[in-house]
Amino acid sequence: MIGPAMAVKRDYYEVLGVQRDADEGEIKRAFRRLAQQHHPDVDRNDGAEQRFKELNEAYRVLSDRQRRSAYDMFGHAGVEGAAAGGFEGFGGGFGPFGDIFDAFFGGAPAGTRRRTRVVAGADLRYDLTIEFAEAVFGVTKEITFPTLVTCSRCEGVGGEPGTEPETCPECGGSGEKRRVAQTILGQMVNIVACPRCRGEGTVITTPCGICNGDGRTREERTVAVSIPAGIDDGQRIALEGEGESGPRGGPNGDLYVAVGVREHPELARRGTELYHELPVTFPQAALGATVSVPTVEGSEEVEVPAGSQSGTEIRMRGKGVPRLRGAGRGDQHVIVRVVVPPKVGKRERELLEELAEIGAPAVMPKGGPSLLDRLRDVFG
């Protein structure tokens, strides 16, 4: 009996759109570009979440030298643990089993060596509020925010110029400490990051006088943010490498600008479509009229057809919001609302009673101004 076919994984290089000889920088740039494009908060298409997971999986393998080497040699089997004998590229790591040890015991399996790695800076979020028209047509804004930047004195190293980090005396440069505990199951070895060097394997003996060994100082930064035409309230813009600098020369994090859009006093937005409720008098609705309506450009005249009822829609083609991922603009919809005056004077009442007696606006007395013309003169 043949079971259901297993899903075939795509080649990781194909997923990221890079050549097999791509360097680490190319792989990182490709991942960041595609991740921003297919993040579920941005990509509303079906399958965006799965696509984002696929990108993360490909990047986890290709950004790690040992995993990438195993993948190049054995394909997907080389990084899934089973086909590779449970080892990560035969380089001494334990592949997916390492995650289990970390989760339960706070460290790597006994006998392994923690690999020193550079820590990236934190990602930042900035809330930016823009005007309605700025969201429709796009705008460039300068934002200023406090952040950690690379120390200008030690250039991110953390030590005074002319000095070098020394091997950690606590862990001997391994970056880890072994702790043995007796449990009901026997002896349990737990390997954790060295508390003195924090897993780096080296320590700064002569800290920089400005950053005190961190390699970073706090400053105010100003960044120009390009807001695309058609952006909507609640959407985010990702600026790669504009976040905090990493400690000890680590790469920068990213900056995410969360955009808020102020409401328009007379226009409502739904996607790329704009809506405006147009109040008209009874004579204007009955006889038709040319009226001015607000638009994002200012104002424009439209024709209210004779005999318009409340709810009649007048469409202004191409007067809506530009499409973020396509050409053209949406439309503006003008919704007619016939306004009935809450109070009428003696003259207005006489004319309305005369209209009620006639029974239909089409029946007009011969000679002189029509009843509707007289109503328009009175009601406006």
Query: What is the pLDDT, as a whole number, of residue 254?
Result: 93
Distance CA 238, CA 43 (A): 13
Whether residue 323 lies inside any domain: the answer is yes
Whether residue 158 lies inside any domain: the answer is no
User: How many Å from the N-terminal Cα to the C-terminal Cα in the chain?
Assistant: 83
Whether residue 310 lies inside any domain: the answer is yes
Residues 6+ apart with CB under 8 A from 334: 276, 278, 293, 302, 313, 314, 315, 316
Query: What is the pLDDT, as a whole number, of residue 199?
Result: 79
Query: What is the pLDDT, as a whole number, of residue 7?
Result: 55
Give SS3 for 315.
strand
Q: What is the DSSP letter of 78?
A: G
Whether residue 309 lies inside any domain: the answer is yes
Query: What is the pLDDT, as a whole number, of residue 355?
Result: 62
Query: What is the pLDDT, as a whole number, of residue 125?
Result: 95
Whether residue 360 lies inside any domain: the answer is yes
CATH number of the domain that 346 lies in? 2.60.260.20
Query: How many domains does the chain fold into?
Result: 1
- Domain enclosing residue 336, as ranges: 268-379
Tens of each residue's pLDDT in the chain, 380 residues: 444 444 567 899 999 999 988 888 889 888 888 887 877 666 777 777 788 888 888 998 998 888 888 888 778 777 774 333 333 333 333 333 344 334 344 444 434 444 445 678 899 999 999 999 999 999 999 999 999 999 999 988 889 998 888 899 988 888 888 888 777 767 777 888 888 887 788 888 899 999 998 899 999 999 999 999 999 999 999 999 999 998 877 889 999 999 999 999 999 999 999 999 999 988 888 888 999 999 999 999 999 999 899 999 999 999 999 998 778 999 999 999 998 777 766 776 766 666 656 554 444 444 445 545 555 554 55
Whether residue 54 lies inside any domain: the answer is no
Query: What is the pLDDT, as a whole number, of residue 114?
Result: 43
Query: What is the pLDDT, as a whole number, of residue 86?
Result: 36
Please, what is the Cα angle at 54 between 25 and 241, to 5 degrees?
A: 35
Whether residue 39 lies inside any domain: the answer is no
Tell me which residue of 82, 49, 72, 61 sits closest to 16, measured CA to CA. Answer: 61
Whether residue 286 lies inside any domain: the answer is yes
Query: What is the pLDDT, as a whole number, of residue 275?
Result: 97
Query: What is the pLDDT, as a whole number, of residue 324?
Result: 84
pTM, two decimal places: 0.58
